[in-house]
Chains A and B, each alone.
Chain A
Amino acid sequence: MWDYSDKVKEHFFSPRNAGAVDDANAIGDVGSLSCGDALRLSLKVDPDTEVIEEAGFQTFGCGSAIASSSALTEIIKGMTLDQALNVSNQDIADFLDGLPPEKMHCSVMGREALQAAVANYRGEEWKDDHEEGALVCKCFAVDEVLIEETIRANGLTTVAEVANYTKAGGGCSACHEGIEEVLGRVLADQGKAFDPAAAQPQPAPAAAPASAPGGKLTNLQRIRRIENAIEAIRPNLQRDHGDVELIDVEGKNVYVRMTGACVGCQMASVTMDGIQERIVEDLGEFVRVLPADAPRLAASV
């Protein structure tokens, strides 16, 4: 199921401040049965200092809703109302070492309950302006309502623009079908058609690592390529219970050590030739592959 942090589990299994505060003077109710999430936050506020002396919660909801409620009460106890109003839903999620994207709304609910409770204390009317839609992008926890509003407000027409404005779609890209659907719907409302061809140009493939001036490979690039070539050969050798290891590179000489079945094998020199051929091909320059124990000086150019 969900990959809950230990902190979430702990606050779910042993919630702090569960239940209503007896002589509460601030109460915030958010959510409803139909949403499957509801939270009543009750606070006892010192009228002189506006410090929250006690906080309690009653929650109808899932594990992370209960854990978020518990975390919220822990965070705000001892704060003044103004300080508490600065607590964001991200603070609640951070307190719990993170929440799964599908569950971020639980922390939002906590923050809203707090706003409602403060409004209740101050005799103001609290109006929720947050509407929630189905989660479209899981990478960034962006729901349909936000995507739709952002498209309308900014006249967006492509998935790439949606990603720039809302982050939705900027990760694994699995949600692009969903984003295209929202785009199609909104654009149709405006009498326009969604044109997938106008979508983002594919990002250019990662450019090859910059070479040293003059088009020559740097030493580091050269050794990396040699390493890669050897890595590519190893599975073949391993299948025959042998192996090869890169020991050193000195100018045009590449020193390797053959191990396992390759040691003393009649074919060792043939294998070395094969490795050499491969490296030369990958490197685009001539090198000589030598056993690591070959006399260095004699072999050096």
Chain B
Amino acid sequence: MSQHAPASGIYLDNNATTMVDPEVVSAMLPFFTEQFGNPSSLHQFGNQVGRAIKQARQQVQTLLGAEHDSEIVFTSCGTESDSTAILSALKAQPERREIITTVVEHPAVLSLCEHLEKDGYRVHYLKVDNKGRLDMQQYMDLLSDRTAIVSVMWANNESGTLFPVEEMALLARSAGVLFHTDAVQAVGKVPIDLKRSAIDMLSLSGHKLHAPKGIGVLYLRRNTRFRPLLRGGHQERGRRAGTENTASIVGLGKACELAMVHMDDETTRGRALRDRLERGILDAVPHCFVTGDPGNRLPNTCNIAFEYIEGEAILLLLNKLGIAASSGSACTSGSLEPSHVMRAMGIPFTAAHGTVRFSLSRYNSEQEIDRVIEAVPPIIAQLRKLSPYWGEDGPVENPEAAFAPAYA
């Protein structure tokens, strides 16, 4: 597989997006040319495309372990799926005005919830502990007949920490509350069997599993009360109007099929590579630590906090060596605060600005990992030399006091 990887550069930012698998690309190509028909059309041009979409729907169904293929609704992205799920639950149950979610959700859920608060909805944000874990007692106490929906992510995009969504969905069901999970980071990386779960709705996004950007799915359990976000045509049985993005749907189907094939490899070889990277860096660099819950996280993700330096500077130096990763520092996002996920876990400011996320895929090789292990320590040392919080070979004593600006 690695012969398909980009010629130069080491890509360790697969939680941001993934390379489209070459097999996915070739499955898609005919749908730009001879298979251009509109699947709704009666003639042969449309017919064939309709069949291809049906097949893709089944491929997604298989990966998710959904009971019916009609539970798969194609959307334009993970964000749309999240919005559709939450807004539908509110619209369908106007008497219920509360939402339960977590403080570490992706902005696709968090920003929407904050916006809904302005419209008078009450949102409960479950807190996490220093390893990013939820307090199940707090959750159970909040479930009530005022709750319209619970929306909790399956895996966190920054730390990779997994939430016990299957258990939480069962609890919601027994309280008579709808349960949605943003599984954008989990689908394709961990086994999912929805027919055996109590999850009512699930979001996924194609570009996180080697399908293209701009295609997503909302899984909608049969008999779940639903109100569409986009009304218009009868596409997706009227649950998501708009002419289908046929090429991308076919691509996503293929990507789901491939994810099934590769899942074992990614959880064994992939995990081993991730662990090798993590060990290598932790052994060579002083004053750094893994964030999140190392024992319970995605097999491809490792998030390391480097103290007393700033993440964007690390990324720029890594990028110069052709290594791609990402950071939760405030400066990479243009905001004033470092990542809300790191802050929620109580990671001190001395480290929160210096978090770097490495996220692997099946295309990464051992040689690549070893090159990264070699590259990181000198970069960290170089930046610490510039830092006013760093002395000869360790942090200055009591950094906050030693460096005491006129304001703080």
Contact assessment for A36 and B310 in the assembled complex, using a CB-CB cutoff below 8 Å:
yes
Contact assessment for B403 and A134 in the assembled complex, using a CB-CB cutoff below 8 Å:
no
Bin the interface of chain A by size: 35 or more
Chain B CB within 8 A of A128 CB: yes
Chain A CB within 8 A of B320 CB: yes
Query: In the docked arrangement, what's the CA distance between A116 and B400, Å?
Result: 18
Interface residue ranges of B301-334 to A (CB < 8 Å): 308-313, 315-317, 320, 329-332, 334
Query: In the docked arrangement, what's the CA distance between A19 and B405, Å?
Result: 17
Knowing A59-B388, A102-B334, A134-B336, say if A127 contacts B406 (CB, 8 Å).
Answer: yes
Chain A residues within an 8 Å CB radius of B309: 60
Knowing A63-B312, A134-B335, say if A33 contacts B405 (CB, 8 Å).
Answer: no
Contact assessment for A62 and B408 in the assembled complex, using a CB-CB cutoff below 8 Å:
no
Chain A CB within 8 A of B208 CB: no
Chain A CB within 8 A of B269 CB: no
Knowing A31-B405, A32-B405, say if A58 contacts B386 (CB, 8 Å).
Answer: yes
Interface residue ranges of A83-119 to B (CB < 8 Å): 100, 102-103, 116
Chain B CB within 8 A of A202 CB: no
Chain A residues within an 8 Å CB radius of B160: none
Contact assessment for A38 and B389 in the assembled complex, using a CB-CB cutoff below 8 Å:
yes
Chain B residues within an 8 Å CB radius of A64: 331
B326 to chain A, nearest CB (A): 9
Q: Total A-B residue pairs with C-beta atoms closer than 8 Å? A: 109
Chain B CB within 8 A of A18 CB: yes
Contact string against A for B residues 332-371, beta-carbon threshold 8 Å, 1 for contact and 0 otherwise: 1011101000000000011001000000000000000000
B338 to chain A, nearest CB (A): 6
Contact assessment for A128 and B406 in the assembled complex, using a CB-CB cutoff below 8 Å:
yes
Chain B residues within an 8 Å CB radius of A65: 310, 313, 331
Query: In the docked arrangement, what's the CA distance between A18 and B406, Å?
Result: 22
Contact assessment for A116 and B405 in the assembled complex, using a CB-CB cutoff below 8 Å:
yes
Interface residue ranges of A51-71 to B (CB < 8 Å): 57-66
Knowing A60-B309, A63-B312, say if A132 contacts B336 (CB, 8 Å).
Answer: yes
Interface residue ranges of B357-408 to A (CB < 8 Å): 385-389, 399-400, 403-408
Contact assessment for A39 and B329 in the assembled complex, using a CB-CB cutoff below 8 Å:
no
Query: In the docked arrangement, what's the CA distance between A135 and B336, Å?
Result: 8
Knowing A18-B385, A33-B389, A33-B399, say if A61 contacts B331 (CB, 8 Å).
Answer: yes
Chain B CB within 8 A of A35 CB: yes
Query: In the docked arrangement, what's the CA distance between A34 and B408, Å?
Result: 8
Query: In the docked arrangement, what's the CA distance between A61 and B354, Å?
Result: 9
Closest to A39 in B: B388
Chain B residues within an 8 Å CB radius of A125: 406
Contact string against B for A residues 17-35, beta-carbon threshold 8 Å, 1 for contact and 0 otherwise: 0110000000001111111
Contact assessment for A36 and B349 in the assembled complex, using a CB-CB cutoff below 8 Å:
yes
B107 to chain A, nearest CB (A): 14
Contact assessment for B386 and A15 in the assembled complex, using a CB-CB cutoff below 8 Å:
yes
Contact assessment for B336 and A32 in the assembled complex, using a CB-CB cutoff below 8 Å:
no
Contact assessment for B331 and A30 in the assembled complex, using a CB-CB cutoff below 8 Å:
no
Closest to B334 in A: A102
Chain B residues within an 8 Å CB radius of A13: 316-317, 320
Contact assessment for B334 and A33 in the assembled complex, using a CB-CB cutoff below 8 Å:
no
Contact assessment for A116 and B386 in the assembled complex, using a CB-CB cutoff below 8 Å:
no
Contact assessment for B332 and A1 in the assembled complex, using a CB-CB cutoff below 8 Å:
yes
Chain A residues within an 8 Å CB radius of B334: 100, 102-103, 135
Contact assessment for A40 and B388 in the assembled complex, using a CB-CB cutoff below 8 Å:
yes
Contact assessment for A60 and B405 in the assembled complex, using a CB-CB cutoff below 8 Å:
no
Query: In the docked arrangement, what's the CA distance between A188 and B389, Å?
Result: 43
Chain B CB within 8 A of A121 CB: no
Contact assessment for B310 and A128 in the assembled complex, using a CB-CB cutoff below 8 Å:
no
Query: In the docked arrangement, what's the CA distance between A116 and B331, Å?
Result: 24
Query: In the docked arrangement, what's the CA distance between A61 and B353, Å?
Result: 9
Knowing A29-B388, A32-B405, say if A1 contacts B315 (CB, 8 Å).
Answer: yes
Knowing A19-B385, A61-B313, A62-B329, say if A38 contacts B336 (CB, 8 Å).
Answer: no
The residue that A29 contacts in the complex, of B315, B330, B403, with Cβ under 8 A, is B403
Closest to A9 in B: B316
Closest to A105 in B: B336
Contact assessment for B406 and A58 in the assembled complex, using a CB-CB cutoff below 8 Å:
no
Contact assessment for A60 and B349 in the assembled complex, using a CB-CB cutoff below 8 Å:
no
Chain B residues within an 8 Å CB radius of A100: 334
Contact assessment for A63 and B389 in the assembled complex, using a CB-CB cutoff below 8 Å:
no
The residue that B308 contacts in the complex, of A32, A35, A37, A60, with Cβ under 8 A, is A60
Knowing A1-B315, A36-B310, A36-B349, say if A29 contacts B406 (CB, 8 Å).
Answer: yes
Chain B residues within an 8 Å CB radius of A18: 385-386
A69 to chain B, nearest CB (A): 8
Query: In the docked arrangement, what's the CA distance between A59 and B388, Å?
Result: 6
Closest to A106 in B: B331
A114 to chain B, nearest CB (A): 13
Contact assessment for B331 and A40 in the assembled complex, using a CB-CB cutoff below 8 Å:
no
Query: In the docked arrangement, what's the CA distance between A125 and B387, Å?
Result: 24
Contact string against B for A residues 192-231, beta-carbon threshold 8 Å, 1 for contact and 0 otherwise: 0000000000000000000000000000000000000000
A182 to chain B, nearest CB (A): 14
Chain B residues within an 8 Å CB radius of A134: 335-336
Contact assessment for B406 and A59 in the assembled complex, using a CB-CB cutoff below 8 Å:
no
Contact assessment for B406 and A38 in the assembled complex, using a CB-CB cutoff below 8 Å:
no
Chain A residues within an 8 Å CB radius of B312: 1, 62-63
Closest to B389 in A: A60
Listed from nearest, the 5 A-B pairs whose CB atoms lie closest are A62-B331, A102-B334, A62-B312, A58-B388, A29-B405
Beyond the given A36-B310, A60-B388, A102-B334, please list 16 additional residue pairs across the A-B interface where CB-CB is below 8 A. Answer: A29-B404, A29-B405, A32-B407, A33-B389, A34-B349, A35-B330, A36-B353, A58-B386, A58-B388, A60-B308, A60-B309, A60-B389, A63-B313, A65-B310, A125-B406, A134-B336
A-B contact pairs, 17 of them (CB 8 A): A12-B316, A13-B320, A29-B403, A29-B405, A34-B349, A34-B408, A36-B329, A38-B389, A57-B386, A59-B386, A60-B310, A62-B312, A63-B313, A65-B331, A116-B405, A128-B406, A135-B335
